[in-house]
Structure 1
């Protein structure tokens, strides 16, 4: 659009004064802008629909929509004429003005890449402008996991059978908190000590829990008087299914009560992955256990114990 407007202004330059040329530019931009915005919006909604069909969660779709809507509005061009430099400038301005981390910038880049690659595959554009934008280098941060003592402290801080069952189930299965709150009583196989969870993309997989989790789950379910099919419900007589926010809040409170730093559902998941690899479980099996599509994701979750690295060096290399 900008190129077309510049071409028109160039042709009219011999016949119009500078003030008239400015007015003409404003009028042309005003005339084209609504159509441009509508076209961009239509392509974005088509992309989101395709992702929904592929099984993306509602939260992922919202994240995609918010990120791309903000980017398209800031760049202010029709999607078909956007180039790599437009996206680079946007990423740089976003980082500078919002003081964001490199991880955030690379997440935006990945979403842009998904969007423009899809447009290219579907023949809406000739070539994705993200192809020339390399992955943003980010610092590798060693993330904390729970020690055995911290897990025991969290169990000791539980004042209800429900909370104890939640802590044990998260610790022994490594399931996502979204998977936990969707579980029903009928999903639990106590004899085999396993349950079927529905993960990202509505993909189902079995996860396994230990004897302690089984014991506390049985005690919790026996204490309930409601008729809800949900595995975990809010405390009290309502029997309402527990929410992700309620689990996160309860775990934070348990962390404060027990003196354990930074308690959240994802930390249980990372702890399980790290301990599994630490004890020799093949990474491919850990990947299946966690429900990761890519093994690289599993490697990010698992922090190998440095003492074991030292022992392996002495065993294999000395």
Structure 2
């Protein structure tokens, strides 16, 4: 039924879908442009990163180019036409489609709440069903292969920090000496949505951090130094390339920084950490998201069977 509805919407708006549009069209100088600008200001005030705001802008501009109407005249069918076009013509994945739908819905909901428009055309726009896939983690053996394949203090430190803190790579590169409690083994980090949380340094990671700081002594700026030395920040792409290099030596496939985050969540859960605690460790707002990070395929069912059965 959903595919039929999309196809019908597409056919009914065929002329509109085929029309070429190359520029963002904002009609009302006193209303639409002001609303457009104020929306992004509101996102910034909510603490969204510049990258997230750029993604919002990219998706809203793409929608505006397609519809080419004043905000007040846009209807639910216009939004459905856009979704139909992205599904049937551009053939994008449902996960991407639902993300774009969410951006458009949030934009028009904000316009309505701020009284730039009198009705909310996005109110009846249905969510796109996205199949949730379990995210894989490293096996115990793969982690050891990666450890053995590190070369130099920096690589060893970065790998252990990824495992210990469960930080996103964008968070890891911003960890600063000023926020590092060396005696307590904790670091405060600013995560998604400008939310602050505490991450923890285990013994193995602390050994390599201490050794790294002896070689590159500093008590201000990023803990992990970039290419310009002390005080410079390593890039996320630099960390990604480092992990790819280590994995190549180790013979471990599909290795990237975010997989360490899943591995830490999986290990913590299997060792008995409560779901809400794992959620706090990862900095998630929803336990449902955290569940996707816990790889149940790594459960040792045979050992559990021997422990609890018979």
TM-score scaled by length of structure 1: 0.81
Distance 1:315 1:93, change over 3 A: farther
Match of 2:15 in 1: none
| Inter-partner Cα distance in structure 2 for 1:88 and 1:255 | 44
| Alpha-carbon separation, structure 1, partners of 2:26 and 2:170 | 39
Matched, 1:214 2:206: yes
CA distance in 1, matches of 2:106, 2:36: 12
> Which among 252, 256, 263 is matched to residue 260 of structure 1?
252
Q: Which has the larger radius of gyration?
A: 1
The correspondence for 2:104, drawn from 112, 125, 147, is 112
Deviation at 1:288, TM superposition (A): 1.1
User: 2:286 & 2:27 partners in 1: Cα distance?
Assistant: 40
The alignment partner of 2:213 has SS state of helix
- Within a 5 Å distance, the mapping from 1:269-280 to structure 2 comes to 269-280=261-272
The question of 1:51 aligning with 2:43 is answered yes
Compute the TM-score of the two structures, normalised by the length of structure 2. 0.83
Shift of 1:39: 4.6
Query: Per the alignment, do residues 292 and 157 of structure 1 end up closer, same or farther by CA in structure 2, a change over 3 Å counting?
Result: same
Is 1:151 matched with 2:151? Answer: no
Q: How does 1:166-177 map to 2 (within 5 A)?
A: 166-177=158-169
Q: Does 1:71 align with 2:32?
A: no
The corresponding residue for 1:141 is 133
> For 1:51-99, what per-residue CA distance to the aligned partner results, in whole angstroms no more than 9, with x for missing partners?
1011111111000000111111111111111111111111121233333
Q: In the alignment, which residue of structure 1 is the partner of 2:53?
A: 61
The structure in which a higher percent of residues are helix is: 1
Residues paired across the two proteins, number: 286
Structure 1 residues without counterparts, runs of 5 or longer: 1-32
> Is the 8 Å Cα contact of residues 162 and 260 (structure 2) preserved in structure 1?
yes
Residue in structure 1 matched with residue 4 of structure 2 by the alignment: none
RMSD of aligned Cα (Å):
2.7
Change (3 A) 1:61 1:151: same
Contact preservation (8 Å) 1:40, 1:72: no
- 1:308 shift after superposition: 6.3
Distance 1:34 1:275 in 2: 50
Question: CA–CA distance in 2 between the matches of 1:177 and 1:88?
Answer: 36
Q: Residues 239, 124 of structure 1: CA spacing in aligned structure 2 closer, same or farther, 3 A cutoff?
A: closer
Give CA-to-partner distance per residue, 1:175-219, whole Å, 9 cap, x none.
111111111122222222211111123221111121101111111
Determine the C-alpha separation between the residues in 2 that align with 1:306 and 1:226: 40
Tell me how far 1:226 sits from its aligned partner: 6.9
CA distance 1:98–1:124, shift in 2 (3 Å): same
Quick one: structure 1 residues 65 and 237, their matched pair in 2 at CA, closer, same or farther if it must change by over 3 Å? closer
Relative to structure 1, is the Cα distance of residues 157 and 314 closer, same or farther in structure 2, using a 3 angstrom cutoff?
Answer: closer
